[in-house]
Amino acid sequence: MRRRSRELGLGVLAVLITLSGYVLVALAEAPDLPADLWGYLAGLVALLAIAHLGVRRFAPEADPTILPIVALLCGLGFVTISRLDEELSATQPRLAQSQALWAVLGVAAFVATLAFVRRTEMLGRYRYTALLLGVAALLFPLAPGVGREIRGARLWVTIGPLNFQPGEVAKVLLVVFLAAYLVEKRELLSLGSVRVGRVMVPDPKHLGPLLLAWGLSLVIMVMQKDLGSSLLVFSVFGVLLYMATARLWYLIVTFVLGVLGSLLAYQLFAHVQVRVETWLDPWPDAQDTGFQIVQSMFAFGTGGFAGTGLGLGSPQKIPAAATDFVFAAIGEELGLLGAVGVVVAILLLVGTGFRIAVRSRRPFNQLFAAGLASALGIQAFLILGGVTRLIPLTGITLPFVSYGGSSLVVNFVIAALLLRMSHEANTDLVPARERAGVATR
């Protein structure tokens, strides 16, 4: 149980960092400690305890760093959203309360995933069911009456008081399908059976289901006018194909198709054209279409190396600061140090996912863990690159940090699946070590 003890110690450290940030935000507004401090501390401890006990009960041999990193990112995101609430509560609903509720649901989904998914290989048996459900989830926002279009993209579904993005669930389902299918067809896809010039390519009948899933995802994304999710799906598919086959031309083809799809989106959708033009030069229209990215640049510049301090900046001046531009809000009040800390935490989480893939002895787990880690890493890159003006803004969430219920819950499920595969990898290695020990005696 040494792993669980290390996990608990790191988790307590994440809780203390989060609590310190909450107190600093409150002290920036008033000289007294917040009245709800002890209730907030009790809530943090309860969520960590439930998640930790879930791992200890259902995956005792899992990696000890995933849960603390998730707790740190969630805590930092909640502190930032709470800080923004102090300034924006008069003009919009209280986001921190909603985020706290979604965090509770996320932890519940986390424990439920660990409890019910006892062997991740079982998910691979339902590869085509996962494909159909994933495509259905992508189609759901297009349904009349429930689908909603926000900021030019039709990604949301509203049923009564519930508002969520089914595409977040589709992301996991499509990775399940692709990992399972590649385990079955990896040799045929890597060696090829048809010669095209000097290159051996796979038989089209083996590429058919992959191309169907890929094409359907892209068509649906085009119909929803969402370039960010389309790029995410493209990238994850290409990365997994390369990992399964070790053939570089899959990455090249993926890159070419991604560029062509981006050019098509630029020609078809006015909001994509605005984002590209704003990315190239936001200053000519700094008070309108370029206002968001200009304010983000000012925020990073104001933050400098160490930041203005929690509660002492003006991140509320950035539109959508709690969602798309939460990283800019962190960069202003925590500076370069805080921004780098967030990036390092995400890199550690993604790197741990790849380490689980490398250590796994089961082919499906190898590709599934790599696919989930790639999805988290690519999603983080797309939004961080957009906020820092490295690439055009895509408008997706920063995992575990941005405000967003469906994204937070699904990311907790991803963390649970990674922990389950880590537990399986470590338990598979124990008999191998024991056999090696017997053989050397």
Task: Give 235-288 pLDDT, tens digit per residue.
Answer: 888 888 888 888 777 788 778 877 877 787 778 777 778 888 888 888 888 888
CA distance 437 to 140: 54
Decide which of 404 and 351 is more confident.
351
Q: Name the DSSP class of 159.
A: E
Quick count: other Cβ atoms within 10 Å of Cβ 435? 10
* Long-range pairs for 136-142: beta carbons < 8 A, 24 or more residues apart: 137/166, 137/167, 137/169, 137/170, 137/173, 138/166, 138/167, 138/170, 138/216, 138/217, 138/220, 138/221, 138/224, 139/220, 140/166, 141/165, 141/166, 141/167, 141/224, 142/220, 142/223, 142/224
- Whole-angstrom Cα Rg for the chain: 22
Q: What are the residue ranges of helices labelled H in 59-94?
A: 66-88
Average pLDDT over residues 134-147: 80
SS3 424: helix
Q: Compute CA 104 distance to the chain's CA centroid, rounded to the nearest angstrom.
A: 18
* Average pLDDT for the chain: 84
CA distances from 330 to 170, 315, 389, 438 (A): 29, 8, 16, 53
Average pLDDT over residues 59-68: 94
Structural contact between residues 421 and 368, judged by C-beta atoms closer than 8 angstroms: yes
Tokens of residue 150, six digits: 């926000």
In this structure, what is the dihedral angle of CA atoms 174, 351, 256, 251, given to the nearest 10 degrees?
-90
**Is 354 a residue whose pLDDT tops 70?**
yes
CA distance 314 to 296: 11
- Most distant CA pair in the chain, distance: 76
pLDDT at 87 (0 to 100): 65
Q: The pTM is what?
A: 0.90
Q: Give the DSSP per-residue string, 269-281.
A: -HHHHHHHHHHH-
Residue type, 191: L
Tokens of residue 1, six digits: 């149980």
Among the ranges given (25-34, 272-281, 384-393), the one the predictor scored with the smallest mean pLDDT: 25-34
Average pLDDT over residues 318-340: 91
Average pLDDT over residues 174-194: 80
